[in-house]
Amino acid sequence: MKIDVKTFVAWFKDRLALTPILKYMTKKEVPQHEHSFWYYTGSSILLFLFIQIITGIMLAFYYRPTLEGANASIARIMTELPLGWLVRSIHSWSATFMIAIVMVHMLAIMFTKSYRKPREVTWMTGMMLLVVSMVFGFTGYLLPWDDLSLSATKVGTNIPMAIPVVGKWVTQFLRGGDDVTGDTLTRFFLFHVCILPLVIFAILIVHILLVQKEGMSVPLKDEIAKKKVPALPFWPNFVLREVIIWLVLLGTVLTVSLAFAPSLGPSADLMAPAPEGVKPEWYFLFLFQTLKIFPANMGPVTGEFVAVVLIMIGIMAVFFLPFLDNKPETKKGKLVTYLCILGVIYAIVFSIWSLQ
């Protein structure tokens, strides 16, 4: 019996039930139409998630999640460890890229209306993934424990206070008490490296399995016309194209990380006044600005309460979009599209506004 790769693979195939998976990979087909470019966004997210896991683990080898040690350990990573500053830079930039591509992915699905039946649950798990990604970013932002991140976290964990009934409890859960302390840091670290990864993997598995089960969606007009869209095999044709996109994205993130590596401020002083220019990461800017424009008091309630309620209504509307847009081919569908465009413009305009 000749020992070669095929025999080796066959040994595994005999014992693990890999054959159905491999057969599925060869049989799976990806439709080719004018919007099929957006199919690449999904796997690009996985690329950045993978980069985050690797760089995150590398950073976690040396990071100390305590009030005294956090800033100093990152300073050590940046100065003493070989290419530590680059690892941190890649982790920071890849977070930005990942959330950007998640948003692009969401918008692509939104405007092609791929959330329509039977893909409603896929959309909802996708929205949950978006929220989890943003919470990842939020928890990670505190970990360097410098002035900016401390202030941003104080503001961010204060927001749930405006929610009626449960608000105070949520804030106390997030902060580990009434105020942001060393306990908050340790807690956020645990969220960031243990709880959120488990959550994201759980939701991701459901999301990906659903995508495989439902198959790739085709544009609405093709579905209505019951047109048979030409398709490419997933393996190897589509995967090879995906690899090209991954290479370009990898090169981009490396270039940007090298060129614009983040700096590290001195360790945060809990008693110091808030520094100038406190703002959250870019993906929270539009929410931040929305909160800022409401006046302090609006009748019997605070402006912040009204803002939080409106934001929650907005989030719910997007979450249940497949049910709101249940007749996508009609005029109602067009109305929803225009509302979505309006939403995107609102997010962009408010984000830019908050930077002024």
Partner 1 sequence: MRINNSYFTRRKFLNSILGGWLGAVVVSFISPIVKFVWPPYKEPDEVKLALADYSSMPPGEVKNFPWGAKPGLLKKAADGTFIAWVGVCTHLDCNVSWVPEKKQFYCACHVGWYDENGTNIIGPPPKPLRRLEASVEGEDLFVRKPGAGAKA
Partner 2 sequence: MRGIRIWCFLALASLVVPALAAARQASTPDAPGPQAKAEVKADAAAKPPAVAQEAKTAAKPAAKKGEEKRAELIVPAYSDIRQRSAVIVFYVWLWFSIAVLIYFLRQWVKEADRVYKAKYYEPEESPRKGNPMAAGVGE
Residue 82 binds partner 1, judged by CB under 8 A: yes
How many amino acids of this chain bind partner 1 (CB under 8 A)? 10
Q: What is the C-alpha separation between 341 and 334, in angstroms, rounded?
A: 11
Q: 231 pairs with which residues across the strands?
A: 31
The secondary structure of 97-166 as a DSSP string is: HHHHHHHHHHHHHHHTTTTSTT-HHHHHHHHHHHHHHHHHHHHHHHTT-BHHHHHHHHHHHHGGGGSTTT
Of residues 47 through 66, those in contact with partner 1 by CB under 8 A are 54, 58, 61
**252, interface contact from partner 2, partner 1, none, CB < 5-8 Å by kind:** partner 2
When the beta carbons of 90 and 308 are compared against partner 2, the nearer one is 90
Angle at 320 between CA 319 and CA 322, to 5 degrees: 115
- 293 alpha-carbon distance from chain centroid: 26
In the list 252, 298, 312, 348, the residue contacting partner 2 (rule: CB under 8 A) is 252
When the beta carbons of 86 and 340 are compared against partner 2, the nearer one is 86
Q: Which burial class, exposed, middle or buried, applies to 33 when counting CB atoms under 10 A from its CB (0-12, 13-18, 19+)?
A: middle
Of residues 98 through 127, those in contact with partner 2 by CB under 8 A are none
Q: What is the C-alpha separation between 60 and 80, in angstroms, rounded?
A: 15
Of residues 272 through 301, those in contact with partner 2 by CB under 8 A are 275-277, 279, 282
Residue 80 binds partner 1, judged by CB under 8 A: yes
| Span interacting with partner 2, options 45-53, 110-118, 229-237, 341-349, rule CB under 8 A | 229-237
**CB 346, min distance to partner 2, A:** 19
Residue 277 binds partner 1, judged by CB under 8 A: no
Q: Which burial class, exposed, middle or buried, applies to 295 when counting CB atoms under 10 A from its CB (0-12, 13-18, 19+)?
A: exposed
150: its two tokens: 């401390």
Q: What is the C-alpha separation between 329 and 207, in angstroms, rounded?
A: 25
Residue 87 binds partner 1, judged by CB under 8 A: yes
When the beta carbons of 86 and 261 are compared against partner 1, the nearer one is 86
| Span interacting with partner 2, options 130-138, 243-251, 288-296, 338-346, rule CB under 8 A | 243-251
Residue 193 binds partner 1, judged by CB under 8 A: no
| Span interacting with partner 1, options 74-82, 103-111, 116-124, 297-305, rule CB under 8 A | 74-82
Residue 343 binds partner 2, judged by CB under 8 A: no
Give SS3 for 298.
strand
- 47 alpha-carbon distance from chain centroid: 12
CB neighbours of 224 closer than 8 A, spacing ≥ 6? 329
**5, interface contact from partner 2, partner 1, none, CB < 5-8 Å by kind:** partner 2
Of residues 38 through 97, those in contact with partner 2 by CB under 8 A are 71-72, 75, 78-86, 89, 93, 96
Phi-psi region for residue 169, left (φ > 0), alpha (ψ -120 to 50) or beta? alpha
In the list 209, 260, 316, 332, the residue contacting partner 2 (rule: CB under 8 A) is 260
Q: Which burial class, exposed, middle or buried, applies to 59 when counting CB atoms under 10 A from its CB (0-12, 13-18, 19+)?
A: buried
Q: Which residues bind partner 1 (CB under 8 A)?
A: 54, 58, 61, 80-84, 86-87
Q: Which residues bind partner 2 (CB under 8 A)?
A: 4-6, 23, 26-27, 36-37, 71-72, 75, 78-86, 89, 93, 96, 147-148, 232-233, 235-237, 240-241, 243-244, 247-248, 250-252, 254-256, 258-267, 275-277, 279, 282, 355
